[in-house]
Amino acid sequence: MTDRAAVEALPRSVVERFGSVDGIINCAGVIQPFVRLNDLDYAAIDRVFDVNWRGTLYMTKAFLPLLLKRPEAHVVNISSMGGFLPVPGQAVYGASKAAVKLMTEGLHSEMAGTGVDVTVVFPGAVATNIAVNSGVNIGGATAETSTRKVYPADKAARDILDGMERNSFRVLVGPDAKLLDRLYRLSPRRATAFIAGQMKDLLAAHR
C-alpha cells in the first residue's frame, strides 16, 4: 500500500486477469502505538500516514481512470470513528483517518455527473484485531476491547456492502459509531470529554 509504483502497476494486472474493474474498497489501516503525541516518534507517524492516508490516495488515483470508463462504478474508502471523534493516544491515527474522510467527501463532489459513486465509511470498534495486526502492543487489552463490546467483522462487511449498493454518501458501522456521531454533532466538547474519560486508564497504562 505504501509503494506508489507497485500500486500504480496494480490496475493493469487486475484488468489483464479479470477484464475490468467496477469498484474498489480501500480498507487497509494501522493504528499508532497507544501513546501521547509528545511521546510518538516520527517513524510511527510516517507509517500511519503512509498506510492509512497515502495508501488510500494511491489506490484511489490508480483505479479512478478505469472506474470512470465503466457505465457504473464505486469507490469506498474506510475512515474511522476516530476520523471525526478525537481519541487520546491515537491523535495521529485519527488525523490520518480524518484526511481520508475529507478526501473521500471531496471526491464524492468531484464525481457528480459521472458513473462513479463514492462512499466514506466510519467504523467504530470492530473485531478485526487491529492492534495485533498493526504490531502495537497495548498490554493484552486493545482499544477495541477495553471499553466496549466489539462489532462482528462479518456484520461490518455486510453494512459496508449494503451502503455501497445503496450508493450511500456515508456509512456508520456499529452502535458506538452511530451513538458517538450523534453526540459529537450535538456537542463536540462533551463527546471529546466522554471518549477521553473512556480511554483514560488505557492511556495511563502506557505512559
- Whole-prediction pTM: 0.90
Picking from 26, 160, 31, 164, the residue whose alpha carbon sits closest to that of residue 103 is 26
Q: What does the pLDDT read at residue 144?
A: 45
Among all residues, which ones are annotated catalytic? 93
Distance separating alpha carbons of residues 14 and 10, to the nearest angstrom: 6
Map out the domains of the chain with their CATH numbers: 4-204 (3.40.50.720)
Average pLDDT per block of 10 residues along the chain, 207 residues long: 96 96 95 93 97 97 97 98 94 98 98 97 91 73 53 96 97 96 95 90 69
Taking the C-alpha atoms of residue 177 and residue 128, their distance in angstroms, rounded to an integer, is: 15
Longest dimension (CA), the chain: 53
The single residue listed with the C-alpha cell 456515508 is 170
Question: How far is C-alpha 42 from the geometric centre of its chain's CA atoms?
Answer: 21
